[in-house]
Amino acid sequence: MKESILNKATELFLEQGFKSVTMDDLAMEMGISKKTIYSHYQNKTALVEESTAHLLSSISCGIDTIRGLKKNPIEELYEIKKFVMLHLKGEKSSPQYQLQKYYPEIHGVMRHRQYEMMEDCVLENIKRGIDQGIYRENLNIDFVARIYFSGVTSIKDLKLFPVSKFPIGKLMDEYLEYHLRGIVTPDGRKILNNIINSNQE
């Protein structure tokens, strides 16, 4: 039952936001009593904490699977972006914004874990891209990896990038293109242009 509660809560948090979903909503959605939920989770904060850890773990496993396919590094980044967007349900309710505003401590922990997970992935991606001749040889790898992480988190700031002007799917595509155009070689640019053109068809 605990796992069912966690899965349903995570789904609702992503669809409606961490603040918007109440324990009453969750109980009603599952057709169980609030007492049953509280027998597994002391309070909503505990549920939010476990939900974010569960989500990060699922995304991490999915990214590892994609990395295991050993696609070329440019394709790999697009596959990861597609997977994450699907997993986060397009972030319709801007769950990260609500998490940061109403559960700052949990958001801080999640951001730190996210960075650790992403740093390894991006560093390895850049090194492989350089080895394959599709990323420039003279890149400061640590700088590029940190700038990439910083950008990915910054574009989720709704004050800077309101959804009305910057739909999240398009924004992620534009950011990824912006990042890659700064680091690719002419050979890499051909691969990037092919991916962008095939995505527009």
The answer on pLDDT for 15 being more than 60 is: yes
Residue type, 134: I
Q: Which pLDDT belongs to residue 180?
A: 97
d(CA 107, CA 109): 6
pLDDT in tens, 116-162: 888 889 999 999 999 999 999 999 999 999 999 999 888 888 889 98
Residue 176 or residue 157, greater confidence: 176
Contacts of 176 (CB under 8 A, 6+ apart): 77, 78, 81
The answer on pLDDT for 91 being more than 70 is: no
The answer on pLDDT for 92 being more than 60 is: no
Q: How many CB atoms lie within 10 A of CB 199?
A: 11
Query: Can you tell me the mean pLDDT for 30-43?
Result: 96
Domain ranges of the chain: 48-200
Which class is 48-200 in CATH? mainly alpha
